[in-house]
Structure 1
């Protein structure tokens, strides 16, 4: 079998093509679109994740970190006796909670049971964010986890339903 190359002008350089170039493009292009279309580590599409990230940055990042890294020493009570905001990335425990539990925590707020104060250390967002916006934040958080963590969290969410 002989492969013939022909030079095709392309901007300042040349594109080398052979008789397999077009079929190869047809096979590879859809895979690249799918792989590049959704962000890594996400079960949602790029639009939903981008919207979730935008909401997260506006309402959550000041406490939980811009990359989901949480507060320093988040495993120890602060000077008030309250647990600092945990990370939402793979180093934290957010991935251990079902979608329903995460939704409740965001909507209704959260007070760590070991806190020495009675106040909600995580404020309730039900009067600020819509249900859809809360779900978008959850979908964004999933992009911060490993594949194994997402698999575990997915099974936790299915067990609840």
Structure 2
């Protein structure tokens, strides 16, 4: 009778298999916990967040969207190159028609956040602004909206927490 290379009883193989599976599950779950990023809250009533957002808006956004969030003139009429001017972020614009999740995506990814082929000059800020900074900019913008506009945007999934 030939000698078995691995003379481990079957019940031990089952234990080894079960233990290995459990190890994989624990390591996978640990990886998800380590990679999990807590969403940043966008709070237009947080004066510190709004102040930071105002500062960041002035340096990153105002050159296109205006110092008073007014956007560029004739923002709904296409330019000769087919692109739309930068829209206002005040109550007269359409920013508040979008959820916070979409607004964050647009700021992070720029034109890549839009459907393919959408002509826009919006740059991506995901490599230059942190999630905390993007949340602050949005808190500042939202702080400038009337209460009824804030409430309507919030119903779209505006309150990111």
Per the TM superposition, whether the score is higher than 0.5 is: yes
- Paired residues in the alignment total 118
Match status 1:49 vs 2:50:
yes
| Residue-by-residue CA offset, 1:70-97 (whole Å, 9 max, x unaligned) | 0000000012110110000011010111
Q: Distance in 1 between matches of 2:75 and 2:68?
A: 15
Residue 113 of structure 1, CA deviation: 5.7
Structure of higher RCO (CA pairs closer than 8 Å, 6+ residues apart): 2
Distance of aligned partners of 1:77 and 1:158 in 2 relative to their CA distance in 1, 3 Å threshold? closer
Distance of aligned partners of 1:115 and 1:68 in 2 relative to their CA distance in 1, 3 Å threshold? farther
RMSD: 2.4
Higher strand share: 1
Distance of aligned partners of 1:109 and 1:134 in 2 relative to their CA distance in 1, 3 Å threshold? same
Higher helix share: 2
The answer as to whether partners of 2:100 and 2:159 remain within 8 angstroms in 1 is no
Provide TM-score, normalisation by structure 2. Answer: 0.66
5+ residue gaps, structure 1, are 1-41
Q: Distance in 1 between matches of 2:81 and 2:65?
A: 18
Provide TM-score, normalisation by structure 1. Answer: 0.66
Distance of aligned partners of 1:114 and 1:160 in 2 relative to their CA distance in 1, 3 Å threshold? same
1:89 paired residue number: 90
| Counterparts of residues 6-45 of structure 1 (less than 5 Å) | 43-45=44-46
